[in-house]
Amino acid sequence: MVTFRLTRNYRVWIVMGLLLAGCNQRQSVPPFDLDVEGLEQVRLVTGDEAINAINRLHGMPIDVVRGFIAYYEGLHDKATIWLSEATSEDLAKRQIEVMIDRMKKSRRSPFSHYRVLDANGVSVIGFDGMGQVHYVFRDTKWVYWISADAGRIDKLLDHVMKRT
């Protein structure tokens, strides 16, 4: 009888341990909404595929823990949210600085009209190119690049910032 009680108690503790361990796991996918400001999510890229796409965008491998790319479409426009997690806040800040500097210095860059905006105390770098407006900003270790049409970008930024 004692052996049965101990075995049953161990089972309870093992199940509790597994449940608690699962609660402490980092979220594998950020909460990208399926509909954002009248746009519908048509594709979400995660894992190695997203990290490879982020590295291709930079033209070289960068130090990224996780990456995500959410594609949205509406009747007449599209938007994309690129999101990468750096290993530290300092690295995320440096990644943005290097990326923007390289884009500004490149003669082949399709981007222009760089500006710095303040969005609720967060420094956002805005620029134009490829028929859209682009905003890049950082929230701790997370680096965001949002691309959308001029009439939608500010609402999209507000929406994303509420989620961070």
Domains in the chain, please, with CATH?
A: 29-163 (3.40.1000.20)
The answer to whether residue 153 scores a pLDDT higher than 50 is yes
**Please, which pLDDT band fits residue 59 given cuts at 50, 70 and 90?**
confident
Contact 108, 114 (CB under 8 A): no
What CA–CA distances, in Å, run from 64 to 25, 88, 135? 19, 10, 19
Number of CB atoms found within 10 A of residue 66's CB: 20
d(CA 49, CA 32): 17
The answer to whether residue 133 scores a pLDDT higher than 80 is yes
Q: Which residues contact 154 (CB under 8 A, 6 or more apart)?
A: none
* Percentage with pLDDT > 90 across the chain: 70
pLDDT of residue 31: 63
The residue type found at 141 is K
pLDDT of residue 5: 52
